[in-house]
Every structure is written in C-alpha cells, then in structure tokens.
Amino acid sequence: MRRAYPTRGLNRPAFAFRRDWLPDAVTYYREQSLKFIGRGAWRSALCPFHADTTPSLRVRIETGAFRCMVCGAHGGDVLAFHMLRHGLRFIEAARALGAWEDV
C-alpha cells in the first residue's frame, strides 16, 4: 500500500528530513555537556542516561553513533541521542536540531 504524503508541485513532498543539516557530532555532544576522554574514532564520556561515575558512554566521533556499556542506551547519530535524551519523536527532534525542512 502506498502512503499519500502532502505534496507541492511535481509530486515533491511538502516536508523533508535533511541529514546533511544535522550538527557536527563533536560540536553537538559538547553542547550537551559531554566531556570526551581519549583519542581515536571512539571516545568515552559520562553517560547522561544513568548516574555514571566512570565514563561508560562510547561515542563514534565521525558519525555520532553512541552506546553506553552500562545501561545499554544506543543510537546511530546525534538525532537518535537527542530523541532519547529529550524524549522527543523523530520529527520534533529533527526540527529542534534544524534538520527538518518544511517546503
């Protein structure tokens, strides 16, 4: 079954998620008060999803992917982190990060 999306003009959607508009992972995580430890592709930080005393959150700097080795919180990019941290749905989080375009 095909979904009917609101369109504008030549069958273009009236909205669009723009992954290329997501903020840079390092900048975003620093704005979220994460302090990275270590060097390389994966870095450690204190996990904001549970009471953490030793760095258990691992973040891949290039993509923004994250995984907590204690509580199991994980996701593939800064959008997933923002959704989980702030309890937002996809569209709300994309708008908050400036990655949602209403055409």
**The domain spanning residue 76 has which CATH number?**
3.90.580.10
Q: Is the whole-model pTM more than 0.95?
A: no
* In-domain check, residue 6: no
- Residue 62 belongs to a domain: yes
Q: What is the per-residue pLDDT for 8? A: 54
List per-block mean pLDDT (blocks of 10 residues) for the chain, which spans 103 residues.
54 79 95 95 97 96 97 97 97 95 80
Q: Which of 24, 72, 66 is CA-nearest to residue 43?
A: 66
- Write out the residue range of the structural domain in which residue 80 sits: 21-98
The Cα 88–Cα 94 span in angstroms is 9
Total number of domains constituting the chain: 1
Does 5 reside within a domain?
Answer: no
From the DSSP assignment, how many helices (H) and strands (E) are in the chain? Answer: 3, 8
What is the model's pLDDT at position 102?
81
| Position 3 in a domain | no
Give me the pLDDT at residue 15, please: 78
